[in-house]
Amino acid sequence: MTTLFGIFLLTLLMITGMAIVHTRNLFVAVMLMGIASLLIAASFFLLDAADVALTEAAIGAGISTVLFLGALALTSERERKRRRSLSTSSLLQFGIVGVVALIVIWATFDQPRLGSPSAPVQAHLTPWYIESTRDLIDIPNAVTAVLASFRGYDTLGEVVVVFTAGVGVLFLLGTGASSRAAGAPLSEDNAGLRHYLIPRILGRLLIPFILLLGFYVQFHGEYGPGGGFQAGAIIAASVILYALLEGEQRALSVIPQGVLLAMMAGGTLLFGAVGVAGIVLGSNFLDYSVLSEDPVNGQHWGILLIEMGIGITVAGVLISIFHAFAARATA
């Protein structure tokens, strides 16, 4: 039954992807991309990758859709028609894509069956992670143990990439601080959906629950699906929803631009500081066991701190990017 449902989701995803490519209405394309992200998130859940599914749903279907709509506000609604001629370069491009697709399909036949206990990763790596998590870290969620402790270097690199991407976007779009006077009255362009009663009522009811879910995912990542990446995206989605309902100026009065920039850098620095603390206390970089007299408690403290750093950075970056788009739309 699970296999049939997975094939059904894959078929819907292919149909949605083809519709995205062929539609000329950019608004329809954005909506279809949100639907595609939800289908991908559902597929991740079927593959028991709940952490990745949460991230895909929050960022792909939520925040990315809002950013695309913000970009759409800067351009026309429909794609400009162009004359398309099948040239030699086009044939070459189609040929390269076709060859690569065939190679990828051929390579999949050499992969072990999904969930097969005889697969190398199940026979060697996974048992070691499970046993080591129980003895060294003692938390129920082995995924959090792997990402936050055993593969801490890799996760730190991901946080740096998120921070760098945020800085790059702000360099390209600007923070928009010059176009926003502190305490300036709301105008029709930046008042959000204040004049629409039903969205405001429903949004105000949902925002506290979205925030609660974000904090739950943040601090419950050791015991179930979640962590800093997912929590940061969910919390950012609640702030962005507030900005859409009440206007950008109101959102900036709650979390000013300076605070957002401090969040972007501060979360990354917190992650790095935890790693440096391990060196100062006489161990290795990102070795949390020395943060407490009990090595297991030290692991718990280290994971808690670096997950907080991840959540702070992700939330700061996503909210800052949204404000950068909104400032360009109203400038």
pLDDT tens, residue by residue, 124-166: 778 888 888 888 898 888 888 888 999 899 999 999 999 998 8
pLDDT of residue 107: 85
> In angstroms, how far is CA 274 from the centroid of its own chain?
23
Task: Please tell me the distance from the alpha carbon of residue 211 to that of residue 227, in angstroms, as a whole number.
Answer: 14
Q: Which region among 93-107, 181-195, 229-243, 287-301 has the lowest average model confidence (pLDDT)?
A: 181-195
Q: What is the pTM of this model?
A: 0.75
If you average pLDDT over every residue of the chain, what do you get? 83
Distance CA 217, CA 223 (A): 10
Q: Please check whether residue 260 is in contact with residue 302, taking contact to mean a CB–CB distance below 8 angstroms.
A: no
Contact 68, 33 (CB under 8 A): yes
CB atoms < 10 A from the CB of 290, how many?
Answer: 18
Higher local confidence (pLDDT), 58 or 273: 273
Q: What token pair was written down for 254?
A: 């709650």
d(CA 291, CA 26): 52
Q: What is the DSSP string of 244-312?
A: HHH-HHHHHHHS-HHHHHHHHHHHHHHHHHHHHHHHHTTS-TT-GGGGSSSHHHHHHHHHHHHHHHHHH
- Contact call for residues 53 and 42 (beta carbons, < 8 A): yes
**What is the mean predicted confidence (pLDDT) over 233-250?**
87
Scanning 109-256, the segments in alpha helix (DSSP H) are: 120, 126-132, 142-145, 152-173, 197-219, 228-246, 248-254
**Residue-level pLDDT at 154:** 92
Strand partners, 181: none
